[in-house]
Amino acid sequence: MLDGRQDQYAVLVRRYQDVLFRYAERMTGRPDEAEDIVQLTFVRGYRSLASCRDPDRVGGWLFRIAANLCKDQVKGRRRREQPLDEVRELRADEPGPLAVAEQDEIRRRIDGALERLPVDQREAFVLKHVEGWSYQEMSEQLEVSVPALKMRVHRAREELQRLLESYYTQ
């Protein structure tokens, strides 16, 4: 396929690194872990290029590597609290500290709710509603039927709604 040509592989890295990072960050809830997963995805991908059966689907092949790494990371990790975000410098064109704090709290709650979903539901929800993939694209990449994916997304929405409602009724 690429015959070990690093310059051609660098093109693949540039093409797919952002989408893989967004996916990994949503799956793990942690940017530092997402960076590690994306880096490891490309290392593993480079080492096993010969196993990519269809060069036209190399993006999906890399995605599968990243998805498996994310699942392994989430399953193997102990639950711990996320570190506080760094304090931001306030500029005149930015929202005030209260608005920023409210936005951060909402984001923290959503991310926390996402982390509580089963991995298969979180994956389907993120691909559908964060990355904007069609059910057909999801089905091809995950090798899961469209009806099963629709059910996963539906259940994820219901559970997220339940979890987020519980935050606001306490």
Measured CA to CA, the distance from residue 69 to residue 75 in angstroms comes to 10
Same domain, 73 and 101: no
Whether residue 148 is found in the same domain as residue 104: yes
Output the domain CATH number for residue 7.
1.10.1740.10
Q: Please report, as a single letter, which amino acid is at residue 127.
A: L
Q: 73-105 pLDDT, tens per residue? A: 877 764 444 444 444 454 556 666 677 777 778
Domain hosting residue 32, numbered range: 1-77
Judged on CB neighbours under 10 Å (0-12, 13-18, 19+), 109 is middle
- Same domain for 107 and 166, yes or no, is yes
CATH code (residue 131): 1.10.10.10
Query: How many domains would you assign to the chain?
Result: 2
Task: Tell me the pLDDT tens digit for each residue of 50-74.
Answer: 777 777 778 888 988 998 898 888 7
